[in-house]
Amino acid sequence: MELYPLDSEKIYFSEDYLTLDCEDGPRTLRIGEWLNADPVRIHKMVIREKTLQVDQMEVYNPLFSKLRRADPEYYKKFMGLKVTIDFPGFDTEIEAKIAFDTNPIGFYKWWRKGKHEHLVYLSQGNQFRLFQKVMLMEPKVMLKKDIDFVKNF
C-alpha cells in the first residue's frame, strides 16, 4: 500500500490522497472520503492544528455539512454565536451574535427561558457577558442560577 504523508505546504482537493494514523494502523483515503470517515479530525487539522490546507470550495465548505451531521455537539461548540437561528422579530434566520449583541434581554429570554440552550452554545465567557448585561438592564428577568453565576464568576 502506498502512503501519502501529510504535506503542510500543499493545498488538498477532494481527490487528493492522504494517509493518517488510525487505531488499526495507517489508513489512506481521498480527502473527500476523509470528510465522510472522520470530519471532526479533518476539521481539527484544518482549524485548530492548522496542519492541513484544503481548497475552500471543494473541501472546506462541504466539511461543515458533514460536521453538522456527524457530531452536532462539536459543530455547535465550534460555531458558538456564528450559528444561524430563527429569532423573533426577524423575517429570516440571523447569526446568533446579532441578537446577542443588539438585544441581550431578548436573546436571554429566547435562549434561557425559551429553552433554546440546545441551539446556541455559549462559552462561560459569553454567558458571563450576557448575564452581566441583562443584570444591569433588567435584573427581574434573570433566573437565580444565572445571577449566582455572575456573582461567583
Q: What is the pLDDT of residues 8-57, one digit of tens each?
A: 999 999 999 999 999 999 999 999 999 999 999 999 999 989 999 999 99
Angle between helices 144-151 and 124-137 (to 10 degrees): 110
- For residue 27, how far is the Cα from the chain centroid? 27
Percent of the chain with pLDDT over 70: 100
In this structure, what C-alpha cell is assigned to residue 101?
449583541
Yes or no: say if 76 and 83 are a contact pair by the CB < 8 Å rule: yes
The pLDDT tens digits for 58-115 are: 999 999 889 989 998 899 999 999 999 999 999 999 999 999 999 999 999 999 988 8
Q: What's the pLDDT at 115?
A: 86
* 117-130 per-residue burial string, b: 16 or more CB within 10 A, e: under 16: eeebbbeeebbebb
- Supply φ then ψ for residue 20, to 5 degrees: -125, 150
